[in-house]
Amino acid sequence: MPESPIRKLVPYAEKAKANGKSVFHLNIGQPDIETPQVALDAVRNMDRKVIEYSHSAGFQSYRDNLSKYYKNAGLPVESEDIIITTGGSEALTFGFMSTCDLNDEIIIPEPFYANYNGFAVAAGLNVVPVTADIESGFALPPVEEIENKITSKTKAIVICNPGNPTGYLYSQEELEKLRDIVKKHDLFLFADEVYREFCYDGATPFSVLNLKGIENNVIMIDSVSKRYSMCGARIGAIVSKNKEVMAAALKFGQARLSPPTIDQIAAEAALKTPQSYFDDVLTEYVERRNIMVNGLNEIDGVFCPMPSGAFYCVAKFPVDNAEKFCQWLLEDFDYNGDTVMMAPASGFYSTEGLGQQEARIAYVLNQDALKKAVKCLEEALKVYPGRI
């Protein structure tokens, strides 16, 4: 089982704090945005004598209301197309195990969310990467490169849109190219769309559920974690029109009995979150993105493409090794008592040796903290012994 590049440096951060340093956590997508009040109130005012199991697919009322949410977003989803899961992580694991056999292959553009590796290992699958490059902002690699990776063992293509760790937003044109490959080779197309609400500069997300002609090949993964800043409420969903896939996924759902009851109560209530909440959050994230990305690009030798969605970016640093740099920041550096924790990007690549000078940054802190974090990185690079 692979180690998480997001959490592997935690012991160094804990030691830095114990030594009196203040650590700006840019390593993990844990927003400081407040959870919607309607969700918190639903838990506080819960009127239940027993915290019972739900249906293995989740409460019917929640699935009905989630279907309405999707329809309002222009997605043709019925309640029977939804299984509620314990986070998006379980949704993807159920999806892999429902569609693939031992030692089958899944193609994923890299860099990708590092835990996809873990889900694949748990399901007995082999990840086949196709590399996107930082110079293009991590756009979809040429379809010829993707098609060249397809073998008799290939069962699926997996994407995250908008992307973690890159913040790249796939266009409708790019998704239609994937559709053509999926249709030609009869593959599944998994799309992790948990950051749908976070698209910037007038961009709008195009869901794989709106791709025509491959309805039975599409499996969408969703979660409440980021949308409502409810990472600790472990509620996700697997969504598909494919009845056989959903029947298989439900068997895995039955084996784990049910998704968590109290978390479902919070998630269902969160569907009543007013649009003003999302408007304010979006405005805030644009400001945070601009502070971080523009600030990074003003540092000599640093390059960071401007993301169009989510709340992550990948930056290339003028260092010998980004993992060493990230560890050094925690062990040996501070600027006015402050230092920064980032996630080395090599852990988001499946191809050995890639991402050695890159780090993923989650701009989930307040604007003042982000400005201080950028200043820390600027000062750190002036004295880092492994600068190149």
Q: What are phi and psi of 315, to 5 degrees?
A: -115, 145
- Amino acid at position 162, single letter: P
Beta bridge partners of 238: 83, 221
Other residues' Cβ atoms within 10 Å of the Cβ of residue 153 = 14
Pick the CATH number of 10-34+276-383 from 1.10.10.10, 3.90.1150.10, 3.30.70.1450, 3.30.465.10: 3.90.1150.10
Indicate the SS3 state at residue 311: coil
pLDDT tens digits along 66-101: 999 999 999 999 999 999 999 999 999 999 999 999
**Residue found by looking up tokens 């082999």 in the block:** 126
Pick the CATH number of 37-270 from 3.10.129.10, 3.30.390.50, 3.10.20.30, 3.40.640.10: 3.40.640.10
* Biggest CA-to-CA distance, the chain: 63
The pLDDT of residue 7 is 79
Q: Are 167 and 360 in contact (CB under 8 A)?
A: no
Indicate the SS3 state at residue 216: helix
5 preceded by cis ω (within 30°)?
no
Mean pLDDT over 233-243 rounds to 98
Q: What is the DSSP letter of 348?
A: G
Res. 297 pLDDT band, cuts 50 70 90: very high
Query: What are the tokens at 113?
Result: 């969310």
pLDDT tens digits along 242-293: 999 999 999 999 999 999 999 999 999 999 999 999 999 999 999 999 999 9
The pLDDT of residue 4 is 78
Nearest to 268 by CA among 48, 124, 63: 63
Instruction: Quote the mean pLDDT of the chain.
Output: 97
Q: What pTM value is reported for the model?
A: 0.96
Nearest to 162 by CA among 130, 190, 209, 199: 199
Residue ranges of the domains in the chain?
Answer: 10-34+276-383, 37-270
Mean pLDDT over 355-365 rounds to 97
The pLDDT of residue 281 is 97
What is the Cα–Cα distance from 70 to 253, expressed in whole angstroms?
22
Nearest to 236 by CA among 43, 95, 42, 110: 95
Other residues' Cβ atoms within 10 Å of the Cβ of residue 152 = 6
Q: Are 342 and 380 in contact (CB under 8 A)?
A: no
Res. 63 pLDDT band, cuts 50 70 90: very high
Domains 10-34+276-383 and 37-270 equal at CATH topology level: no
Q: What are phi and psi of 161, to 5 degrees?
A: -145, 115
pLDDT-above-70 percentage for the chain: 100
Cα 65–chain centre separation: 24
What is the Cα–Cα distance from 116 to 88, expressed in whole angstroms?
11
Res. 354 pLDDT band, cuts 50 70 90: very high
The pLDDT of residue 6 is 74
What is the Cα–Cα distance from 229 to 225, expressed in whole angstroms?
5
The pLDDT of residue 8 is 81
